[in-house]
Structure 1
Amino acid sequence: MDEETDTPEDPRREFAEECRSARELHDPAPLTQAHLARLLRTSKSTISRVETCQGAIPPDLPPLLDEVFGTDGKFKRLHEEAVASSFPTLYRRRMTLERAAVVIREWSPTLVPGLFQTADYARSVFKGGFPRAGTREVSAFVNDRLARKAVLDGDTPPDVRLVLCESVLRRRICPPEAMRRQLKALLEAGARPTVRVQILPLDAPAHLFSDWPVTLITSPSHSVSVCVENFRTAGIVDDADHVRTALRTYDELTGDALSARESARLIAEQMEKLT
């Protein structure tokens, strides 16, 4: 993770300064940290940590701040920028594309993608990749991962299409009860009107994306970027020919995958097997 800076351009620092400024300049009278905490249904210590850049910003706080101060999404935007800036540089463009997307197509052969991970699942994934990480580092990763889900909860969320290899359901990344909660979260996500979850059976034919996760992100201008991740690397492909090939491959995946209804049944069956 990149280290925080104390420059005004740092989104985390800017969030803190805007929170303190809005509180102190509140009309008709300034608010103390304790008073603001009561309005936000949180603790004074949480407000203090936010204003002094100690730890992650609780993901439910920005929309409440916008509501209390009437700031029309400013704190939500700053929070999204702060989360994006916490990721390594090579992932930041992807985060920017994701926040503005009108359509997100995800394929994963091994793991539940970040947008759909529960806290326990994300923690297990991170600790598996970074076994020497400390408690604070793990906690920061999990908070940042959960904060990405805000793109699914906005007023105009993107249409999301998710295709998972069947092995993702069967691979026990975390203890059984935590894995049950992850599969339940997948079912709940698939029930949203803007999300479709499909499972690619283990006996499906080989395809271009077999070896790595791929995300196709469509912008408001309808241009498509292909995001590919591999060992400690990530790339974004914008070349028109490669994008067309990726879109065609994704269409083939959805054609070979189980329907959304059949996929939901398979997920539910796998939940029952976890004991």
Structure 2
Amino acid sequence: MMKESEGVNADDPRRRFAEECRSSRELYPEMRLSQDQLARMLRTSKSTIGRVETCAGPIPSNLPPLLDQVFSTDGLFKRLYEEIVAQSFPAQYRRGVALEREAIVVRQWSPTVVPGLLQTADYARTLLRGGAPRASEEEIKAKVAAQLARQDILKRDAPPDVRVVLCESVIRRQIGSRDIMRGQLAALLAHGAKAAIRIQVLPLDAEAHLFIDGGARFLTGPNHLTLVCVEAYRTVAIIDDPEQVREAMRAYDGLTGEALSTRESARLIRGQMEALT
């Protein structure tokens, strides 16, 4: 267990996760579980449980719901894990990540790169390494894990509806090696085949529009209110003014109308993927 002197705040969700795991294991109703016994129940390794309980390294994304099931904790570990994921991002991005995890509909326009919700590990690693050339491998590994953890919302029994419009340049711009880009395009096709996800490509000759110089996410929460997240270099703005949100939504609707159909978009993505073989 990490000590206060090591600089871990008692309110830190990562530490709380570790403490809840250890206390739930030691106070298990039938008997005190060892790390090895808990690992067997979760079909993981003792070393994984040891790392979780000492705050060493990332938490496997499949572990929180399994802990909730074994300990009957009514989603406690899942909620803590979501807090951990949100806090792994810079402060200015955390609210957007938290809103995304609660959204019932996610709409996104991206003029430059594949959105984080749909990125492969290799594609994400290439982007993150390019954006932080002086970062250590461990730092990059942690950032990739945090990025991929955002995709947990797509694995839920009732995932949000995801609607993505990509500029054609996103499909044609090679990020990393040909293999990395081909893998990313294949992942887009796989995502687009799911009932909850719709991917469209906006042709390069489309008319100018409100978001031509930047990306935007439209997050609709359980209360059916929509907020707009607009990101730029190390900054993010969350727009909640109703009139501005309506204006942004009209612009997004215009993009979906100008974009290729999902079938035509898949054909374009497949063609670009095959061109990289």
TM-score relative to the length of structure 1: 0.96
Structure 1 gap ranges (5+):
none
Alignment match, 1:36: 38
Q: Give the Å deviation of 1:70.
A: 2.3
Q: Does 1:159 align with 2:175?
A: no
Q: Give the Å deviation of 1:27.
A: 2.1
Q: Give the Å deviation of 1:86.
A: 1.2
Percent of pairs with identical residues: 61
Alignment match, 1:212: 214
Alignment match, 1:60: 62
Q: Does 1:23 align with 2:2?
A: no
* 1:19-72 per-position Cα deviation (integer Å, ceiling 9, x unaligned): 111111112011111111122222111111110101111112112212222223
Q: Give the Å deviation of 1:73.
A: 2.1
Q: Give the Å deviation of 1:5.
A: 5.3
Alignment match, 1:194: 196
Superposed CA RMSD in Å reads 1.2
Greater shift, 262-271 or 152-161, is seen at 152-161
CA distance in 2: counterparts of 1:180 and 1:62, whole angstroms: 32
Alignment match, 1:223: 225
Alignment match, 1:132: 134
User: Which SS does the other structure have where 1:34 is aligned?
Assistant: helix
**Which amino acid letter does the alignment assign opposite residue 101 of structure 1?**
A
The one of 102, 105, 119 equivalent to 1:103 is: 105
CA distance in 2: counterparts of 1:27 and 1:221, whole angstroms: 38
CA distance in 1: counterparts of 2:21 and 2:180, whole angstroms: 35
Q: Give the Å deviation of 1:155.
A: 2.7
Q: Give the Å deviation of 1:256.
A: 0.4
4+ residue runs over 6 A deviation: none
Q: Give the Å deviation of 1:140.
A: 0.3
CA distance in 2: counterparts of 1:180 and 1:68, whole angstroms: 39
User: Which SS does the other structure have where 1:215 is aligned?
Assistant: strand
TM-score relative to the length of structure 2: 0.95
Structure 2 gap ranges (5+):
1-5
**Which amino acid letter does the alignment assign opposite residue 121 of structure 2?**
A
**Which amino acid letter does the alignment assign opposite residue 210 of structure 2?**
L
**How many pairs are equivalent?**
272
**Which amino acid letter does the alignment assign opposite residue 63 of structure 1?**
P
Alignment match, 1:267: 269
